[in-house]
Amino acid sequence: MIKVIELFAGVGGFRLGLEATKGFEVVWGNQWEPSKKSQDAFECYSRQFKDKGIHSNQDINTVDEKTLIDFNANLLVGGFPCQDYSVARSLSGEKGIQGKKGVLFWEIVRILKEVRPRYVLLENVDRLLKSPSKQRGRDFSIMLSSLKDLNYTVEWRVVNAADYGQAQRRRRIFIFAVQNDTSYVTRLNNIDKEETILHNDGFFAKTFPVSQVMHEKHTPLLFSLPNDIVEVSETFSQKYYNAGIMRNGVVYTEELIPIQETPITLGEILQTSVDEKYYLSSDGIEKFKYLKGPKKIERTSSTGHKYTFSEGGMAFPEPLDKPGRTMLTSEGTINRSSHVIEDPETKRIRILTPVECERLNGFPDNWTEGMSERMRYFCMGNALVVGLIERMGKRILEIENEETISVDDRIVQMSLF
């Protein structure tokens, strides 16, 4: 059983996926929503996982990382915000490198320095690979440099959940880091070609299979990160593709082509006998038609410059024979991004219910029941696709099993002498 520390836990998507494998125990989970009196996500998390581990509703900036050492956790997980990760030297030089205050990735680094888990699994939006716009790839390079300095080898992959059998076209980057002194990394280091790792033998290749064909339009890149993380922050810029590996500061990145699995369709997750309140009035239908329709609107900038704002049209209503689009926190409101369907039973137009949104992410029905409907939609817009985490959890267990066997073999060999 692998013990887990969970950061930025939300309503428990990471935990649900890991616990489904029967091989993980979350010993400490933290969820804190700043600037809010009502801690809806934490209350849902603590209710659903009652009497299982410690549930922390504390600002992560105030958590004493030394108190987490005794949990002996070998996996740290978390879905953290995409922020500005720039760093600088402290003025005195005594404290070394300083990251911007309030940036939650630095809290992950702070905890990793003390806890030293064997594995790290993080999730973020895929734009992380390109941010910031004025220095493309800088933020992700800082993350890789930070994990390198903590003695981790890192793999990443942008995964569209619908490509691997899930009900939502949700693209997220997953970052898997493993300590360099493991037999897993030793085995990877015996593989000369990085593309072999990404296509066949690596963490994500075994979990989310890809085509052996190279992408025609994107040439793979191989480069080294600067040794100085401040140099990375101030001057380094680099293009990253949807997959890659970093070993000892050397990065290989390639645009991989997924071997697609048949997804769950939007029609398959719909409820029957839906409450009247989810159906749209004629005015509501007209508003959605406008929001989702194509537009060309003349606008004037703050400097007086006139320009044309253009926006393409979206399907209205949603096709039920395809997986859902990416769900946002504004789901359920009169918003261009909200899903609007024709109910198969009544043939009337409506929005999705909170339970249907839970199903889009692979959560059990009524998982978020007990909070306001607005917050139920909001929490699902922030949540993970549980099925993806379960698959990654199984892969971590495979790696851990190899690690245990390797350790046992060494003990046997030592006993012979």
* pLDDT tens profile 83-105: 777 887 766 554 556 677 678 99
The reply to whether 82 belongs to the active site is yes
- Cβ-proximal residues to 339 (8 Å cutoff; 6+ apart), any chain: 266, 318, 324, 325, 327, 331, 351, 352
Based on its alpha-carbon atoms, the radius of gyration of the chain, rounded to whole angstroms, reads 23
Output the pLDDT for position 100.
Answer: 75
Residue type at position 336: R
Output the pLDDT for position 295.
Answer: 86
- Please give the helix or strand (H or E) that residue 122 lies within, else none: strand 119-125
- To the nearest 5 percent, what fractions of the chain are helix, strand and coil? 35, 20, 40
Topology at the third CATH level for domain 2-259+388-410:
Rossmann fold (3.40.50)
| Helices (H), ranges, 280-353 | 282-292
Output the pLDDT for position 81.
Answer: 81
Task: For residue range 133-160, list pLDDT tens digits in order.
Answer: 899 999 999 999 999 999 999 999 999 9
The DSSP secondary-structure symbol of 201 reads I
Q: What do you get for the CA distance between the two ends of the chain, in Å?
A: 31
Give just the sign of the alpha carbon dihedral 373, 376, 377, 379: positive
pTM, 2 dp: 0.93
Output the pLDDT for position 380.
Answer: 97
> Which residue shows structure tokens 């005195």?
92
Low-confidence ranges of the chain (pLDDT < 50): 94
What are the extents of the domains in the chain? 2-259+388-410, 266-382
Choose, from 44, 82, 357, 379, the residue flagged as catalytic. Answer: 82
Task: For residue range 7-25, list pLDDT tens digits in order.
Answer: 999 999 999 999 999 999 9
Give just the sign of the alpha carbon dihedral 280, 286, 290, 293: positive
CA distance 55 to 43: 10
Output the pLDDT for position 75.
Answer: 98
- What is the architecture of the domain spanning 266-382? Alpha-Beta Complex (3.90)
CA distance 254 to 199: 10
Classify residue 7 by burial, with Cβ atoms within 10 Å: 0-12, 13-18, 19+. Answer: buried
Tokens of 361: 């992410």
Output the pLDDT for position 97.
Answer: 63
Output the pLDDT for position 87.
Answer: 82
How many CB atoms within 10 Å of residue 120?
A: 22
CA distance 63 to 112: 13
